[in-house]
Amino acid sequence: MARSTTGTLRLSLSRGAYIAALAPVLKAFLAENPGINLDISWDEELVDINRQGFHGGIRMGDVLSPDMIAVRITPPIRSAFFAAPSYLQAFGVPERPRDLLDHQCIRHRHPTSGKLREWRVTEDGQDISIDPPARLIFDSAAGVIQAAREGHGIGWSMKATMEDHLKTPELATLLEPYARDLPPFYLYFPEQNKRVECLRLLVDFMKTQLKKHQRSNVENAAER
């Protein structure tokens, strides 16, 4: 049943947040709320949503400011190591995470903190982080993926951001048994915006979608 609320909701989010968290449910939200328009800003850097006039944002939980209200809207995010077949033919395929230390790696520097994102893996039942040498560094995940497509080395990012490339011969995934999940995405906003009706409707919708996803996973697991 369509709702009658009208208005424009301004959101700040990264490209990865859009692909992994918002895009899969956007059509359903817009259909359920025909009077709500979304004004979306893609930005890899965390912005001051108060100062720049946003109602809220979507980011991973490990980068959020503690003074924000944060609502979890996704399960943990799958990650993937990847490289072009041409690179793997030239330099070989790593078999274990430690092998990455001897490869040309393409790293992502977070534009807000200025820190390189650690590469997270699960090995021998333990979650660990590795810090391979960086042949190339980008301040966006899109740059990492593009450089990997061109054969410059091995990258690591959210699997959702490269699904289209994995359907073609451009990229191959590596070390899949070792890839560790990334933190979930959260819809966050300042205290004074929690009464914004358009934002409240999006929060409620995203929470419902997450519950459906979790219920589906439980049912699928029970059927196996």
CB-CB neighbours of 155 under 10 Å:
28
pLDDT, average across residues 94-116? 91
Cβ-contact 195, 203 below 8 angstroms: no
Check pLDDT > 80 for residue 215: no
Q: pLDDT tens, 121-171?
A: 998 888 889 999 999 999 988 899 999 999 999 999 999 988 888 888 999
Q: Which residue has the higher pLDDT, 48 or 37?
A: 37
Average pLDDT, the chain: 90
Question: Is residue 114 very low, low, confident or very high in pLDDT (cuts 50, 70, 90)?
Answer: confident
Of 85, 30, 48, 45, the residue nearest 188 (C-alpha): 48
Of 1, 13, 16, 53, the residue nearest 187 (C-alpha): 13
- Which contacts qualify for 211-216: CB closer than 8 Å, 24 or more apart? 213/74, 213/75, 214/75
Cβ-contact 131, 119 below 8 angstroms: yes
Q: pLDDT tens, 163-193?
A: 888 888 999 999 999 999 999 999 999 999 9
Count of residues in the chain = 224
Question: Is residue 40 very low, low, confident or very high in pLDDT (cuts 50, 70, 90)?
Answer: very high
Q: pLDDT tens, 52-88?
A: 999 999 998 776 778 889 999 999 999 999 999 999 9
Q: Is 39 helix (H, G, I), strand (E, B) or coil?
A: strand
Residue 123 pairs with which residues in a beta bridge?
Answer: 126
For 9-20, letters b (16+ CB in 10 Å) and e give bbbbbbebbbbb
Q: Is 110 helix (H, G, I), strand (E, B) or coil?
A: coil
